[in-house]
């Protein structure tokens, strides 16, 4: 009888100990679920939602660009733009909210898309938020860092911070100045072309001339694809022509640039 009692006591004590261990284990699992697993799942969901916003912004703009390229009726294009604008503004606002929860998981390409769209709809505060975040990202290829600084320069120009804009264009060039890779001069030429248009729009002819000479140097580099070279020259030619058509072109082009543009059609 005493042996049965002792066995019962052992089972009781062991069972209590086992229940305690199970309780502790379940508590640990619960704590892990609350503090590690669930936040991780929430972060992944937030990243997914953020990427959907990026896709929506890009698709809305792409639709408008296609209508423009296809020669849509101006009234129809204006109506479509009016309908799309509130969606774009809503997407930008949503992106700002989501970004606050996943700041370390947002990349430069995503932020550039948002910056570009915010600038298109004259939302300067949002554009500033996105591009300054992009510029501060350290772990990224130099080419992407350069692109972020180029967009920051564009934002500074259109908001009247001209010296800051020029400094940012210089920073964009310097980010990729020491890269020795085939085609990298094309990226440098692209930055210079952007800078040329900004200076021509502003009417600072001396700086536009200086940047034009650098553009010619970069675009004539032998380590650049011919199709890339032709594309950049034609793009710059088209942009200058558009400026002239709106009476925003107040400078005479340097002869070498004029000859370069005329030599490609």
User: What is the pLDDT, as a whole number, of residue 72?
Assistant: 67
* 132-171 pLDDT, tens digit each: 999 999 889 999 999 999 999 999 999 999 999 999 999 9
* 20-45 pLDDT, tens digit each: 444 444 444 444 444 444 556 777 88
Percentage, residues of the chain above pLDDT 90? 43
Measured distance CA(67)–CA(65) in Å, rounded: 5
CATH class for the region spanning 142-265: mainly alpha
51: burial class by Cβ within 10 Å (0-12, 13-18, 19+)? middle
| Number of helical H runs and strand E runs in the chain | 11, 0
pLDDT at residue 187 greater than cutoff 50: yes
Burial 182-210 (b: 16+ CB within 10 A, else e): eebbbbbbbbbbbbbbbbbbbebeebbbb
SS3 182: coil
- Run of H or E residues at 72: none
Residue 226 and residue 181 in contact, taking contact as beta carbons nearer than 8 Å: no
* 67-123 pLDDT, tens digit each: 767 776 777 777 777 787 888 888 889 988 888 888 777 889 889 989 998 998 899
Residue 117 and residue 57 in contact, taking contact as beta carbons nearer than 8 Å: yes
**Torsion sign, CA atoms 70, 71, 73, 78:** positive
Residue 33 DSSP symbol:
I
Half-sphere exposure of 79 (CA within 13 A, CB side): 5
């Amino acid at each position: 009888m005493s042996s049965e009692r002792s066995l019962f006591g052992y089972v009781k004590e062991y069972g209590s100990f086992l229940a305690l261990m199970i309780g502790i284990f379940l508590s640990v699992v619960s704590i892990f679920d609350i503090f590690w697993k669930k936040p991780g799942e929430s972060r992944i969901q937030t990243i997914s939602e953020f990427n959907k916003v990026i896709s929506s912004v890009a698709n809305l703009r792409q639709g408008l660009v296609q209508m423009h390229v296809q020669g849509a009726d101006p009234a129809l294009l204006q109506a479509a733009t009016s309908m799309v604008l509130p969606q774009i503004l809503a997407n930008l606002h949503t992106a700002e909210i989501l970004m606050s929860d996943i700041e370390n998981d947002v990349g430069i390409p995503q932020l550039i898309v948002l910056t570009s769209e915010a600038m298109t709809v004259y939302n300067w505060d949002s554009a500033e938020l996105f591009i300054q975040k992009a510029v501060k990202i350290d772990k990224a290829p130099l080419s992407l860092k350069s692109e972020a600084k180029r967009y920051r320069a564009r934002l500074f120009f259109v908001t009247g911070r001209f010296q800051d804009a020029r400094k940012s264009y210089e920073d964009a060039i310097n980010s990729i100045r020491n890269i020795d890779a085939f085609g990298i001069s094309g990226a440098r030429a692209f930055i210079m072309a952007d800078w040329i248009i900004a200076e021509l729009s502003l009417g600072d002819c001396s700086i536009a001339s200086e940047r034009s000479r650098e553009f010619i140097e970069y675009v004539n580099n032998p380590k650049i694809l011919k199709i890339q070279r032709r594309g950049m020259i034609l793009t710059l030619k088209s942009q200058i022509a558009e400026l002239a058509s709106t009476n925003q072109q107040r400078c005479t082009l340097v002869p070498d640039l004029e000859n370069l543009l005329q030599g490609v059609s």
